Amino acid sequence: MRKALFGLISFMLVTFCAHATDHADENPLRLDHPDRHVVVKGDTLWDISETFLRSPWLWPEIWHVNPQIANPHLIYPGDVISLVYIDGQPRLTLQRGPGDRTVKLSPEMRIEPIDTVIPAIPLDAIRPFLKNSRVTDQQTLDQAAYVISGHEGRIVSGGGDTMYARDGSGEQLAKYASYGVYRPGQSYVDPDTGELLGIEALEVGLGKVIAKDDDISTVRLNSAEKEILAKDRLLPTEEVKVIPTFFPSAPEGDVNGKIIAVLGGVSQLGPYDVVAINRGERESIEVGNVMAIYHDSGMAMDRVKNELVQLPPERAGILMVFRTFEKMSYALVLKAQRPLAVGDTLKNP
């Protein structure tokens, strides 16, 4: 029985059926693949897959679940991934390493194993964009409650301070409720159509309404990533789970997108940098979708016909989507064979 290598038990390989047919006649293994790999701390699931496969996102096609293992979808340091052949076909199998990884649950506490589950991709690279950043629209920001002053008229507030906020035309603050304090960032515009895809909202703090007088609320700041200023906006907090179990997969439909921004203040774009792309949920993009990055090769002179011709784009890297919004997504660059740039195109892997 074949299931996804890493993730929820109920996840089935439906999304890979069509893709598997396209690769049925191809050997998915790398020429230099090992026969076994002992998982070590610092490994990622993507790295492990890439050790064996030419295309790491194709691992579900050759994964063989061992029915004797309670949860084969979680991989730990010390586990052994082995390459075997079943009915003449290559398969990857899992052998648990030493140690008791029993997870005990009670109404009061959760006791987890010391060994941590191997993540799909480096979580440190994407955690700030899961926790401290979101994409919204101008109407939501315009109608949100906003900071009017710090305590005793101060213009700057920080963690532990109290401040005052006023209800917006759409967002009415609720007593004892918690809110994120956001500052508008860059606007994301589709380079081909000129459509506004969203506005980055950077979380600068977290607070709780402790008193309310008509439309003016007193807010205690529980934490502050940056100085809180007048006109910063208050929005309900989002519950975004930081989990190691992504599902690398090929997009269901044809992709024709672009990198529209580099996040995190990075100027040189390479592996493990985070980018914004102009495709999102309305284009059926899902978390885990893998896309190939193509770089513009420029023009060349045809000296026979004495004319300039456009060279075909050159495949330059791979990225994986880790957070989606309605009209756009955030993605992590996993591989770059050459320098990448805003404007590079995205296609099916």
DSSP assignments along 302-323, one per residue: ETTTTEEEEPPPEEEEEEEEEE
Q: Which residues lie below 8 Å from residue 114, measured CB to CB, with a gap of 6+?
A: none
Share of the chain above pLDDT 70, in %: 81
Of 173-177, 239-243, 299-303, 311-315, least confident by mean pLDDT is 239-243
Residue 106 has pLDDT above 60, yes or no: no
Residue 259 has pLDDT above 50, yes or no: yes
Of 81-90, 101-110, 294-303, 334-343, least confident by mean pLDDT is 101-110
Residue 177 has pLDDT above 70, yes or no: yes
Helices (H) and strands (E) in the chain, counts: 4, 22
Q: What strand order describes the sheet that includes 80-86?
A: 36-38, 80-86, 89-95
Helix/strand/coil for 339: coil
In 122-263, which ranges are E strands? Answer: 133-136, 145-150, 156-157, 162-166, 178-189, 196-213, 216-224, 228-229, 233-236, 257-262
Kindly report the pTM of this predicted structure.
0.75
| pLDDT in the model for residue 270 | 86
| pLDDT in the model for residue 94 | 82
Residue 69 has pLDDT above 70, yes or no: no
Rg (CA), the chain: 24
- Band the pLDDT of 272: cuts 50, 70, 90: confident
- Band the pLDDT of 243: cuts 50, 70, 90: low
- Region 13-21: mean pLDDT is 35
Of 1-10, 55-64, 111-120, 211-220, least confident by mean pLDDT is 1-10
Report whether 156 contacts 228 (CB < 8 A).
yes
Q: How many other C-beta atoms are found inside a 10 Å radius of the C-beta of residue 109?
A: 8
| pLDDT in the model for residue 6 | 37
Q: How far is Cα of residue 227 from the mean position of the Cα atoms in its chain?
A: 27
- Enumerate domains of the chain plus CATH numbers: 14-111 (no CATH), 129-236 (2.40.10), 257-347 (2.40.10.410)
Q: How far is Cα of residue 283 from the mean position of the Cα atoms in its chain?
A: 17
Q: How many other C-beta atoms are found inside a 10 Å radius of the C-beta of residue 204?
A: 21
Mean pLDDT of the chain: 82
- H/E stretch holding 126 reads helix 123-131
Report whether 260 contacts 191 (CB < 8 A).
yes
CA 169-170-172 angle, to 5 degrees, is 95
Q: How many other C-beta atoms are found inside a 10 Å radius of the C-beta of residue 268?
A: 9
